[in-house]
Amino acid sequence: MEEKDRLLQKLREEFPGAALDSASPPDEASLRIGREDLPRLAERLKQAPYDYAVLLDLTCVDHLREESGLEVIYLFLSLSGARRLRVKSRLPADDPSIGTLTALWKNADWLEREVFDMFGVRFAGHPDLRRLLMYDGFEGHPLRKSYPLRKEQPRLPIGK
């Protein structure tokens, strides 16, 4: 059994609701987990024996035609084990929210703000959840597939 498979097996024992992700790259472990389990899983990943000390990235995918509209994707790195772990969590279309990881990884602050700005995912408990890339008066979330292609935005007042 490969190290990746042993890791996934241990995580599935600790988190029975977790499922293996079949679309993962061969050299990278990938796991699907419910949004209610994500904060507890993330906290566990920082501890031994996992030692995922780095949150490399956080992104989102809009599955427009599926019941669960958005999916957040986290990419973790274990420095001691030199391995990556991809964790995915589907969010219901009517409530795209999930717990924040800012208490565990400082860079989650800006990563979560970017996903909030572009996709509208709310991160419960985030200390400063506000737009990062778009201006405050911007309407909507431009990376959602339902965002109108030719939507006109309110104009910014010109400073004097």
* Residue 26 in domain: yes
- The continuous run of DSSP H or E covering 158 comes out as none
Task: Per residue of the chain (160 residues), give pLDDT as tens.
Answer: 578 888 888 888 999 888 877 666 777 889 999 999 999 999 999 998 899 999 999 999 998 776 668 999 999 999 888 899 999 999 988 899 999 999 999 999 999 999 999 999 999 999 999 999 998 889 999 999 888 888 888 777 776 5
Per DSSP, the three-state class of 90 is strand
DSSP state of 50: T
Number of domains in the chain: 1
- Report long-range pairs for 22-30 (Cβ below 8 Å, ≥24 apart): 24/86, 28/4, 28/83, 28/84, 28/85, 28/86, 29/4, 29/83, 29/84, 29/85, 29/86, 30/85, 30/86, 30/87, 30/88
Note the pLDDT of residue 68.
Answer: 67
Q: Kindly state whether residue 150 falls inside one of the protein's structural domains.
A: no
pLDDT of residue 66: 67
Does the residue 62 lie in any domain? yes
pLDDT at 4: 80
Residue 156 domain flag: no
Burial class (CB in 10 A: 0-12, 13-18, 19+), 62: buried
What is the CB neighbour count within 10 angstroms for residue 31?
A: 21
- What residues make up the domain containing 15? 3-97
Q: Is residue 82 part of a domain?
A: yes
pLDDT number for residue 35? 94
Q: What is the pLDDT of residue 1?
A: 55
Report how far residue 48's alpha carbon sits from residue 11's, in angstroms, rounded to the nearest whole number.
Answer: 12
Interatomic CA distance for residues 160 and 149, integer angstroms? 32
Residue 117 lies in a domain: no
Q: The whole model's pTM is what?
A: 0.90
Q: Report the CATH number that the domain containing residue 49 is assigned in CATH.
A: 3.30.460.80
pLDDT at residue 131, rounded to an integer: 95
- The whole-number pLDDT of residue 64 equals 75
Which of 72, 51, 53, 50 is CA-nearest to residue 118? 72
Inside any domain, residue 83:
yes
